[in-house]
Structure formats: structure tokens, C-alpha cells
């Protein structure tokens, strides 16, 4: 497993932007898929975005065109750039990682390593 720590959450107004970061601790010696999930109170933990070792990225329909996932391998860090934020984006955001899959995965159960979460609150 890889130890992950999220940062960058906060309270923002609708329509503005925010960037989340997910840093991996120590050194890694293999390829990983990195993803972002979010969970609102009383709701399921939902897929947001992912990026595979090949650079392939994919998104939930609800954030497509607004959010961008990226990575900096030299810093062992994955980012989630969130633009045009809406109140319905309010949730705890988690980063996750696992082995490099040969296909796109969107289920939380497919990922073994998780960060502690960072709160994003979007006011209207």
C-alpha cells in the first residue's frame, strides 16, 4: 500500500476554483492508478476522476468539463483542479491508489490505498 495525504480543501463560493493535492509518502517502485472519490453526508462514496500510469484520465459525468486530474511523478503528487464549483460538489474528497489496471475502474472497492479525506464546502 501507498500512504496518501490530501490537502487543499476549504470553504468557497459557488463558481470559483479550488485545487486539491494528494501526496504519496516515501518512495514508490511500481506503477499506480490514482483516483479521486467524494462522499457527501448520508451518501455513497462516488467516483470523481482517475488517471492511470499511462496518462489516460477519465471522469464522472457530473464533473466532466469542470474538473481536471493531473499528476507530477517527480513529486509523487496527484492533483484535482476543480473549476466552476457548485453547491452539489460539497463533500469530503478522498484520494486513492492501486495497482495499474488494464481497464478503467470506478469502484471504491478497486482501490487499496486511501487518504484521510479533505472537506470541500461550496456555498451558494
∠ Cα 16 20 23 (to 5°) = 170
6, 3, 78: which is closest to 35 by C-alpha? 78
Q: Which residue has the higher pLDDT, 10 or 103?
A: 10
74, 75, 77, 71: which is closest to 22 by C-alpha? 77
In the chain, the percentage of residues whose pLDDT exceeds 70 is 96
State pLDDT tens for residues 50-108: 998 888 999 999 999 999 999 998 888 999 999 999 999 999 999 999 887 788 999 99
List the grid coordinates of 31: 506503477
State pLDDT tens for residues 51-62: 988 889 999 999
Q: Coil, strand, or helix at residue 75?
A: helix
Q: Are strands 10-13 and 118-123 parallel, antiparallel or unpaired?
A: parallel
pLDDT bracket for residue 27 (50, 70, 90) = low
Amino acid at each position: 500500500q501507498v500512504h496518501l495525504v490530501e490537502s487543499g480543501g476549504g470553504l468557497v463560493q459557488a463558481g470559483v476554483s479550488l485545487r486539491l493535492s494528494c501526496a504519496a509518502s516515501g518512495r514508490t517502485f511500481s506503477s499506480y492508478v490514482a483516483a479521486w472519490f467524494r462522499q457527501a453526508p448520508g451518501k455513497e462514496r462516488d467516483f470523481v476522476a482517475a488517471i492511470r500510469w499511462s496518462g489516460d484520465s477519465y471522469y464522472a459525468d457530473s464533473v466532466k468539463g469542470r474538473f481536471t486530474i493531473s499528476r507530477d511523478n517527480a513529486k509523487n503528487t496527484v492533483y484535482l483542479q476543480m473549476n466552476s464549483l457548485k453547491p452539489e460538489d460539497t463533500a469530503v474528497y478522498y484520494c486513492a491508489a492501486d495497482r495499474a489496471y488494464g481497464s478503467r475502474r470506478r469502484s471504491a472497492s478497486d482501490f487499496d490505498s486511501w487518504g484521510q479525506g479533505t472537506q470541500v464546502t461550496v456555498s451558494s
